[in-house]
């Protein structure tokens, strides 16, 4: 019993670590909550499959079924054969890494389990005690799902989670040995994963870098924690109580069968909730990778709106609600149609043609009289009165004023003989 | 001096203290003031502050002149106006008489307003010579009649361009043929425009503008909503259109072109796709490639939209789309929003492939800096949640989508934008997810998003779904709050939704609201929906706690509605159940006279009361001790030949003090009932 639990813990830890860095690279701001969520899951006996499944469902629904049997098998073996567990865990780890790499563009693998066994043996007695306490949690029957689904935007409050975090840190710190170099199997896995990517060399080096970076983290964390696991578990419980959402947690749990077949999975709605919370948003998943973002189209000659464009605009207008909601919106509509005087109010609205005409063109109209009218006499006198009137008229444009003068010019030219007879 | 004294008296001790301090330095005064009189210290403060202010002369930055758009002022003003839940729509505020009270009236009034505008426009355009006087200054072009007749008579390229401009398909084609026969060459641009025109209208003259088009769209919506949509393939509106004919004018003119360019191909392919000739569109595309031209983005968008029609299997459909996208990338054609929307729309018809590929497509959009519009998200939702299909394990997709869109203001960019809100609300209703429904509704309030809920029909569907969900999931108080907010200013509930509302009242045991709701039901014009009214009566009959008087008034009101029909024809007919419900309500309110009247209606409408009801009635009669009425009741029961008449008779004989005359009547009746048995 104890061994089995232990193994499962190891498998799980491995998986947690497998997942961690990838999440980290994807969304830095979500990093912390994700760890905590998983840390919390641990005391409740959430299975490794549960996590891998979440991962799959988040990224590719279709691959879900394909992956599961394989996982089951691996875990069953772990449970049956304590001697081989290290190796299998490793294999499991790698297979997960491969999976991750297939699903994501930036997979990172974290080695964990290879040397864990020695360490955990030292805390055997205390762990046994703990397991007694844990059993209660493990066998808790699933609680009723709360009716409201927590939003993704909800973040767990960091403060009560601190204890959980420390527990998690301890869990990772269980490995005592320092590892300066990466496990060769992992390097191989990373390079295999990288080869699936377009830019394989760079990807590989990035992967390995990430691995090493993550390697360093547990070392620092290790020092911080005490040796007594009991404290940690106690902390863990406190953290759990303070968390409002923990009720939704025990969705899938390990059930031990007497025949030693390991556990059965239970995929509940809470599992889906976890999937929502712990996975990254599907909107940040991989892309099609068909187009180059930087590619500039050689701009075709734009001929103005074609019939299709006009029709598209019409369709959009018809599909949407364009009715005004209040008087101002109606005025906006009228302004767009050109029915309303435009704001800000401008006296010269609609007189754009005249804007370029200087004032003296309007006022000094004498030059139009020169040449075609007599220099003196009653006609000249009359025309001077006319241009005085025109100069003061602000309703007419310069063009219209000139036309007005031109009309008189024609008129007097027609009546030329009459004028001559009258000797004007 | 007197004044001074008076002021001194009025002033508080505090101010006296101030005066004392004033002889000290102003700095101390300031501190004192700030401590004791923080609110009123500004007058003195400003004097004290002047010194430092002078020493550091602030540099005055003159802001640059800003040119405001002509709507800016109005937009700012419009943003200050909130919706008034007690008022009807702005369109109807001119005339209170024409404020719509029912959904039907709303539709009628808003359509008639639009119809009036169209009629005026028609006459102005039909008789332009009567509308030449231009009163407006500056000139308002949209008020002047449009020229709808071709002005240029002789056969020339300009005349052709004019006919294309006026969208006269037949005339333009004829003129083009004339020009060719006369040997004049038409420039490629004008020919392309002609091709576009023909392809756009599918080689038919466009039907009359506006009105018929709107009608077809509406029927389309209704059909979609009734989910009586044909399984796959052409939309109903497409079926009404004439399909693409082989060798029609467009193809003929296209064949005459010596060197068709991309635009010519674009027109042809888009026309073919629009009129359902998908495989021809693809073969035309092959021609285009063979003539060593590159396609434009419109061609690809059209082809992607047509791709699901060409292939049978989901995988093949998707492969074809990917192939097209790859060709786009090869030809360095930059996809736009509509291209990706076409991809997503096509994915809706790709089954499970759609589910796996939808998010990569969205991701690709983001990588190309194309912001998805509501239509894109709507397509994603439709991919994951098929209408009528069971929803399992996909709850989170809506959540994810809402997480992406919430708080954003969208501008209409795609005709499918208007589908988003009703789709999202449908999913909320299917999954009974009130939380997301609130988020969807919240999104509707952001910016100009309210425009995107669509036209009147869609808006009604949206609110019906939202409100049904509220009825199902929320407490009565919250639900009523929404009810007061939405009804009737933006939403006129249908009788089904009112039934949901009644059911919610029933489950929460808040039947005291019924008289209020009944008033609304009448105003909304559902007072003659028999099923709704019967539900209401049954609820009232079951209610025993609330003040019965209001319920009884309500029941009498309903009773009067049954008798008065529309134009002499009763719209509802009494059933035994509804009659006995009315009677039990009246009896509970101790209105025996009204109940007795109602009881008589059983006879006139040939309905048979239950024994249970008569027993109840008898109990009430017994309370008042009216023997005559009790005997009448038994007579009535005997008249209906009820099998349990004799038990009634026994009850009367035991419980009432009977006169000999009554006894003889009863014994007669008893014999009758036994003999009938």
Contact B217 A318 (CB under 8 A): yes
What mean pLDDT is reported for chain B? 81
- Backbone φ, ψ for residue B566 (5° rounding): -90, 120
Confidence of residue B653 (pLDDT cuts 50, 70, 90): confident
- Taking 90 as the threshold, does the pLDDT of residue B150 lie above it? no
Nearest to B415 by CA among B217, B223, B273, B228: B217
Residue A163 has pLDDT above 80, yes or no: no
Mean pLDDT check: name the lowest of A348-352, A411-415, B369-373, B476-480.
A348-352
Best interface-test mutation with B: which of A198, A288, A298 has the largest number of B CBs within 10 A? A288
* Chain segment A234-247, per-residue pLDDT in tens: 444 443 333 334 33
Give the count of Cβ contacts less than 8 A between chain A and B.
Answer: 191
Which chain B residues have a beta carbon less than 8 Å from that of A324?
90-91
Asked if A319 and B75 come within 8 Å (Cβ–Cβ), the reply is no
> How does pLDDT run across B69-89, given as a tens digit for each residue?
888 889 999 989 988 888 888
All residues of chain A having their beta carbon less than 8 Å from the beta carbon of residue B83 are 325
Cβ(A81)–Cβ(A54) below 8 Å: no
B34-38, B174-178, B560-564, range with the lowest pLDDT? B34-38
ipTM exceeding 0.85, yes/no: no
> Are B396 and A276 an interchain contact pair (Cβ–Cβ within 8 Å)?
yes
> Can you tell me the mean pLDDT for B158-163?
87
Assess B15–A contact: CB distance below 8 Å, yes or no: no
Scanning B415-434 for CB atoms below 8 A from A yields 415-418, 433
HSE toward the beta carbon, residue A383, CA cutoff 13 A: 27
pLDDT digits (tens, 9 = 90+) for B165-216: 888 888 888 899 888 888 888 888 888 888 888 888 887 777 654 443 444 3
At CA B523, angle to CA B517 and CA B528, rounded to 5?
Answer: 90
Min distance B285 CA to chain A CA atoms (Å): 19
Tell me the per-residue pLDDT of B612-637, one tens digit each, with 9 for 90 and over. 888 888 888 888 878 888 888 888 88
Contact with chain A for residue B270, Cβ under 8 A: yes
Chain B CB contacts of A315 under 8 Å are: 415
pLDDT, tens digit, for every residue of B578-615?
A: 999 999 888 888 888 888 888 888 888 888 888 888 88
Q: With contacts defined as CB-CB under 8 Å, which chain B residues touch A311?
A: 200
Question: pLDDT, tens digit, for every residue of A13-44?
Answer: 444 444 444 433 444 444 434 334 443 434 44
Residue A373, pLDDT > 60, answer: yes
As a whole number, mean pLDDT of residues B447-475 equals 90
Closest partner CB to A338 (pick from B72, B142, B360) = B142
How does residue B677 score in pLDDT terms, banded at 50, 70 and 90? low
- Across the interface, whether the CB atoms of A319 and B417 are under 8 A apart is answered yes
Q: Which of residues 246-305 of A touch B (CB under 8 A)?
A: 272, 275-276, 281-293, 295-298, 300, 303
Note if the bond before A41 is cis, omega within 30 degrees. no
Closest chain B residue to the Cα of A348, Cα to Cα: B138
Q: Is B474 on the interface with A (CB under 8 A)?
A: no
pLDDT tens for residues B250-275?
888 888 888 888 889 999 999 999 88
B333–A contact, CB cutoff 8 A: yes
Asked if B215 reaches chain A (Cβ–Cβ under 8 Å), the answer is no
Closest-approach residue (CA) in chain A for B192: A306
Interior angle at CA A249, CA A246 and CA A255, nearest 5: 135
User: Where does the pLDDT of residue B421 fall: very low under 50, low under 70, confident under 90, or very high at 90 and above?
Assistant: very high
Task: Assign B305 a pLDDT band (cuts: 50, 70, 90).
Answer: very high
State mean pLDDT over A173-183.
46
Banded model confidence at residue B27, pLDDT cuts 50, 70, 90: very low
Please report residues of A whose CB lies closer than 8 A to that of B414: 316
Indicate the pLDDT class of residue B153, thresholds 50, 70 and 90.
confident
Tell me the shortest Cα–Cα distance from A135 to chain B, in angstroms: 30
Degrees (nearest 5) of the Cα angle A377, A382, A385? 130
* Mean pLDDT on A251-270: 40
Could you report the per-residue pLDDT of A95-120, keeping only the tens digit for each?
444 444 444 434 344 444 444 444 44
Under an 8 A CB cutoff, do A328 and B74 touch? Answer: yes
Q: What is the pTM (predicted TM-score) of this model? A: 0.64
- Contact residues on chain B for A318, CB-CB shorter than 8 A: 213-214, 217, 415, 455
pLDDT tier at A345, thresholds 50, 70, 90: confident
pLDDT tens digits along B459-469? 999 999 999 99
Chain-chain contact of A291 with B332 (C-beta, under 8 angstroms): no
Q: What is the mean pLDDT of chain A?
A: 59
Interface test with B, best of A290, A325, A395 (most B CBs within 10 A): A290
């Amino acid at each position: 019993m104890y061994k089995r639990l232990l193994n499962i813990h190891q498998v799980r830890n491995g998986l947690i670590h497998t997942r961690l860095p990838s999440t980290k690279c994807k969304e830095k701001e979500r990093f912390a909550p994700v760890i905590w969520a998983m840390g919390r899951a641990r005391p409740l006996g959430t299975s490794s499959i549960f996590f891998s499944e979440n991962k799959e469902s988040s990224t590719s629904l279709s691959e879900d079924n394909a992956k599961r049997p394989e996982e089951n098998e691996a875990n069953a073996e772990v449970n049956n054969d304590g001697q081989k567990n290290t190796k299998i865990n490793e294999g499991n780890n790698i297979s997960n890494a491969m999976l991750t790499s297939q699903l994501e563009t930036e997979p990172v693998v974290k080695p964990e389990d290879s040397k864990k066994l020695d360490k955990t043996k030292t805390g055997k007695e205390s762990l046994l005690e703990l397991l007694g306490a844990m059993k209660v949690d493990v066998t808790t029957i699933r609680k009723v799902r709360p009716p409201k689904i927590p939003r993704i935007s909800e973040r767990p409050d960091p403060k009560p989670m601190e204890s959980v975090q420390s527990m998690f840190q301890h869990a990772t710190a269980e490995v005592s040995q320092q590892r300066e170099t990466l496990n060769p199997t992992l390097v191989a896995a990373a390079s295999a994963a990288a080869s699936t990517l377009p830019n394989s060399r760079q990807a590989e080096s990035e992967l390995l870098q990430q691995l090493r970076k993550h390697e360093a983290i547990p070392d620092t964390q290790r020092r911080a924690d005490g040796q007594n696991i009991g404290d940690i578990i106690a902390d863990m419980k406190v953290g759990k109580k303070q968390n409002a959402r923990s009720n939704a947690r025990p969705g899938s749990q390990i059930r031990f069968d007497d025949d030693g077949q390991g556990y059965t999975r239970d995929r509940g709605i809470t599992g889906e909730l976890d999937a929502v919370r712990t996975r990254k948003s599907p909107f940040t998943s991989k892309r099609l990778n068909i187009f180059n973002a930087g590619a500039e189209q050689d701009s075709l000659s734009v001929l103005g709106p074609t019939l299709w464009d006009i029709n598209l605009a019409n369709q959009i207008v018809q599909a949407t609600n364009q009715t005004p909601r209040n008087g101002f919106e109606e005025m906006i509509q009228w302004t767009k149609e050109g029915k309303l005087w435009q704001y800000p109010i401008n006296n010269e609205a609609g007189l754009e043609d005249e804007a370029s005409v200087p004032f003296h063109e309007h006022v000094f109209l004498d030059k139009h009289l020169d040449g075609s009218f007599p220099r003196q006499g009653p006609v000249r006198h009359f025309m001077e009165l006319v241009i005085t009137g025109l100069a003061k008229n602000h309703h007419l444009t310069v063009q219209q004023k000139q036309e007005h003068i031109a009309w008189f010019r024609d008129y007097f030219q027609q009546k030329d003989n009459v004028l001559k007879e009258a000797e004007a | 001096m007197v004044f001074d004294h008076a002021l001194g008296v009025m002033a508080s001790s505090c101010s006296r203290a101030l005066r004392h301090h004033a002889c000290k330095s102003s700095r101390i005064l300031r501190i004192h003031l700030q401590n004791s009189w923080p609110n009123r210290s500004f007058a003195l403060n400003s004097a004290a502050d002047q010194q430092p202010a002078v020493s550091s002369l602030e540099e005055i930055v003159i802001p640059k002149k800003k040119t405001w758009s002509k709507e800016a002022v109005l937009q700012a003003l419009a943003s200050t106006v909130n919706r008034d839940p007690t008022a009807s729509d702005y369109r109807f505020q001119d005339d209170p008489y024409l404020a719509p009270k029912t959904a039907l009236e709303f539709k009628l009034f808003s359509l008639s307003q639009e119809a009036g505008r169209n009629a005026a426009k028609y006459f102005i355009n039909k008789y332009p010579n009567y509308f030449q006087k231009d009163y407006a200054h500056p000139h308002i072009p949209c008020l002047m009649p449009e020229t709808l007749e071709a002005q240029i008579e002789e056969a020339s390229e300009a005349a052709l361009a004019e006919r294309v401009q006026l969208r006269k398909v037949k005339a333009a084609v004829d003129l083009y043929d004339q020009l060719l026969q006369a040997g004049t060459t038409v420039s490629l641009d004008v020919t392309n425009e002609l091709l576009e025109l023909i392809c756009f209208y599918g080689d038919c003259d466009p039907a009359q503008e506006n009105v018929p088009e709107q009608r077809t769209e509406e029927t389309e919506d209704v059909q979609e909503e009734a989910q009586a949509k044909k399984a796959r393939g052409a939309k109903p509106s497409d079926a009404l259109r004439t399909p693409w004919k082989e060798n029609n004018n467009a193809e003929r003119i296209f064949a005459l072109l010596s060197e068709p360019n991309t635009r010519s191909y674009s027109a042809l392919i888009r026309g073919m796709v629009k009129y359902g000739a998908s495989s021809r569109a693809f073969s035309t595309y092959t021609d285009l490639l063979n003539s060593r031209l590159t396609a434009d983005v419109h061609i690809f968008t059209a082809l992607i939209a047509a791709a699901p029609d060409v292939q049978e299997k989901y995988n093949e459909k998707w492969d074809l789309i990917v192939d097209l996208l790859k060709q786009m990338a090869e030809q360095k054609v930059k996809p736009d929003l509509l291209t990706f929307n076409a991809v997503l729309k096509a994915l809706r018809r790709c089954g499970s492939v759609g589910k796996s590929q939808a998010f990569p497509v969205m991701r690709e959009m983001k990588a190309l800096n194309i912001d998805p519009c509501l239509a894109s998200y709507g397509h994603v939702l439709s991919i994951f949640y098929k209408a009528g299909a069971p929803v399992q394990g996909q709850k989170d997709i809506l959540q994810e989508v809402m997480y992406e869109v919430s708080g954003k203001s969208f501008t209409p960019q795609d005709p499918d934008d208007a589908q988003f809100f009703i789709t999202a609300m449908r999913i909320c209703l299917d999954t009974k997810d009130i939380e997301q429904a609130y988020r969807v509704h919240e999104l509707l309030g952001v910016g100009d998003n309210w425009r995107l809920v669509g036209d009147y029909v869609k808006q009604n569907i949206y609110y019906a779904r939202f409100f049904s969900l509220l009825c199902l999931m929320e407490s009565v108080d919250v639900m009523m709050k929404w009810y007061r907010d939405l009804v009737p200013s933006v939403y006129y509930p249908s009788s089904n939704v009112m039934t949901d509302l009644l059911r919610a009242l029933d489950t929460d045991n808040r039947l005291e609201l019924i008289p209020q709701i009944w008033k609304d039901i009448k105003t909304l014009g559902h007072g003659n929906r028999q099923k709704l009214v019967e539900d209401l009566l049954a609820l009232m009959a079951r209610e025993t706690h609330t003040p019965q008087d209001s319920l009884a008034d309500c029941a009498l009101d309903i009773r009067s509605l049954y008798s008065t029909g529309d134009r002499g024809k009763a719209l509802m007919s009494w059933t035994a159940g509804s009659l006995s419900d009315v009677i039990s309500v009246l009896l509970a309110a101790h209105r025996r006279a009204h109940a007795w009247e109602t009881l008589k209606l059983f006879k006139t409408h040939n309905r048979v009361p239950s024994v249970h009801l008569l027993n109840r009635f008898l109990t009430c009669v017994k309370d008042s001790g009216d023997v005559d009425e009790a005997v009448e009741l038994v007579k009535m029961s005997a008249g209906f030949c009820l099998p349990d008449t004799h038990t009634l008779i026994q009850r009367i004989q035991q419980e009432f003090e009977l006169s000999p005359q009554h006894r003889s009547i009863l014994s007669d009746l008893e014999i009758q009932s036994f003999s009938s048995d």
